[in-house]
Structure 1
């Protein structure tokens, strides 16, 4: 039997694997595109940007990396190219200006989303929407309301990066692989986020137990210092280099991997909560099971009374931002 022509083989390969669309090709969107290229998760990546030339340039640059990775169809496109997409990631929007409040930023980016979300839903009503634009929690809620999609199809990147930062810092503190640290940041992706120290573990042991077993110096009064290091990391990075994009792009790639491979990975992402520690009708982060259907389960993990109070305060802070937005009626 003769071999299929290359075009035929690639067509079959493409048909069996999903397409990912990235709307917004700034530093986060473009770096996410590179993370997808590196991962080999999808044979087709479409880049959409209001600046078509920027999207074309990023697509060309990424395409030239293919000889070092694997064949992928990467190109600039428009909203009709969302047809058949499994995931549409939204990284478009304005950065926060000096002195600008989060409600003001949310209002500006909500206007951007007014142009994007209806178009995406028109062409890809079955797609999972992954929101990375800040303020991510209020915009995830806004997207859910604007799109008319079931809440499982709308995921915000949430505190996936904050959780990764906490695990990194704890891993460095105790000299272990951060992947062996299990600790969560929940709530808002922002100043009111909450570290769940009560459920943090290393090798299945609480941090205090781990210190007792290994003889490592325990945290004692370091917890707030470590949390401040995690919470304020973005400010320090922006001060040093102007923006953050590598780590959040990696987190987005991890979310997409769990969706495309139906891995049911537990990740701290932002989604609609209903009666979770007294919090309802707001999008903030708790551990959620992510699979082919998007958010497949929300895990209201145990919290100490102090953690629960801070979590509820974080939800109120996000709700205050949401309430400043011109919430739309869902599209039919």
Structure 2
């Protein structure tokens, strides 16, 4: 008979669980081990030997990091985790869009999420598998958890890519760049140029300080490079894993340390910018309770229209799969 833990009174924010030990899951687990945030981490995969191998390999780095228990386990072992990170899903193939993965990964989630729910999980569920906005929506519906406790990695990585591209264009530290990619984590994503700045200086003004004056050409190229970067990486090495692993670490930091950081995670929209009942990646305050609230960044009319189009695309996919 299957053992199911009743975890109604237990939650351990020093413990993480990673479900899915492929490229993204294993890289995320490695990044989290190095961070020192957790003292315990359980790896779960349909291929138990893969999870055991990854746990053993990562654990050999502990003498160079901080004490931590890393092991392969099952859903019972994840019941009291403060954060469950779900990376399980089919890999995006060369020439395949994130939205092409929908049917395959929805089916996988239909086997994973109920297993977590019936163990009375009280922590935060972080969805990383693609298409992340769609799958975050699916996880909210399947889990029955409060919306704030189910978030997706969203456009955190896309935003990092945008900052990198702007930093290189202007030859400044990318950490001084403040800009967001919003909407779908995918082909309909939007670079929110209206509110982009470098240390408080409007982006166009800073560009001119650095000798760049053709703003339209530059922003179009940067946005295109960011949107296509995953395809470029996949065409060369078959998968993206390191950038997203660092994004997972950053989101976990905001949760574990209750930072109230502003990150463009996937969360349910309730009327913001005229969009509701759909999960989108938007700047949000993230802390120990997961999602707190969206941050109303300034967008121009075109950006709002494109955001609404992005939402419509995702709604269409959900309707096609009888999820709305």
TM-score range, shorter chain: over 0.9
Counterpart position of 2:274: 278
Counterpart of 1:93 (choices 74, 89, 96) is: 89
The change in CA–CA distance for 1:183 and 1:102 in structure 2 (over 3 A counts) is closer
> Contact 1:156 / 1:271 at 8 angstroms: preserved in 2?
yes
Counterpart position of 1:42: 38
Residue 246 (structure 1) aligned with residue 246 (structure 2) = no
Partner-residue secondary structure (3-state), 2:272:
coil
Counterpart position of 1:320: 316
1:11-34 deviation line (CA, Å, top 9, x unaligned): xxxx98521000000010000000
Residue 187 (structure 1) aligned with residue 179 (structure 2) = no
Residue 130 (structure 1) aligned with residue 90 (structure 2) = no
Counterpart position of 1:66: 62
Higher mean displacement: 132-141 or 92-101: 92-101
The change in CA–CA distance for 1:279 and 1:55 in structure 2 (over 3 A counts) is same
Counterpart position of 1:163: 159
C-alpha displacement at 1:218, in angstroms? 3.4
C-alpha displacement at 1:300, in angstroms? 2.8
Counterpart of 1:115 (choices 111, 134, 158) is: 111
> Contact 2:254 / 2:287 at 8 angstroms: preserved in 1?
yes
Residue 217 (structure 1) aligned with residue 205 (structure 2) = no
Higher mean displacement: 117-126 or 251-260: 117-126
C-alpha displacement at 1:222, in angstroms? 1.3
Partner-residue secondary structure (3-state), 2:267:
strand
The change in CA–CA distance for 1:39 and 1:243 in structure 2 (over 3 A counts) is same
The structure with the largest alpha-carbon Rg is 1
Partner-residue secondary structure (3-state), 1:281:
strand
Counterpart position of 1:262: 258
TM-score by length of 1: 0.91
1:196-232 deviation line (CA, Å, top 9, x unaligned): 11100002011122234x3432342211111100000
Residues of 1 paired with 2:98 and 2:254: CA distance?
Answer: 30
Counterpart position of 1:30: 26
Residues of 2 paired with 1:118 and 1:99: CA distance?
Answer: 32
Residues of 2 paired with 1:288 and 1:252: CA distance?
Answer: 15
Partner-residue secondary structure (3-state), 1:93:
coil
Counterpart of 2:101 (choices 98, 105, 108) is: 105
Partner-residue secondary structure (3-state), 1:134:
coil
Residue 78 (structure 1) aligned with residue 74 (structure 2) = yes
> Contact 2:91 / 2:239 at 8 angstroms: preserved in 1?
no
CA RMSD of aligned residues (A): 1.6
Residues of 1 paired with 2:38 and 2:66: CA distance?
Answer: 10
The change in CA–CA distance for 1:126 and 1:210 in structure 2 (over 3 A counts) is same
- Unpaired segments of 5 or more residues in structure 2? 1-10
Residues of 2 paired with 1:186 and 1:21: CA distance?
Answer: 27
TM-score by length of 2: 0.93
> Contact 1:103 / 1:324 at 8 angstroms: preserved in 2?
no
- Unpaired segments of 5 or more residues in structure 1? 1-14
Residues of 2 paired with 1:196 and 1:207: CA distance?
Answer: 11
Partner-residue secondary structure (3-state), 2:77:
helix
Counterpart of 1:153 (choices 144, 149, 159) is: 149
Counterpart of 1:21 (choices 17, 21, 44) is: 17
1:277-310 deviation line (CA, Å, top 9, x unaligned): 0110001111000000000111132210010010
The change in CA–CA distance for 1:310 and 1:180 in structure 2 (over 3 A counts) is same
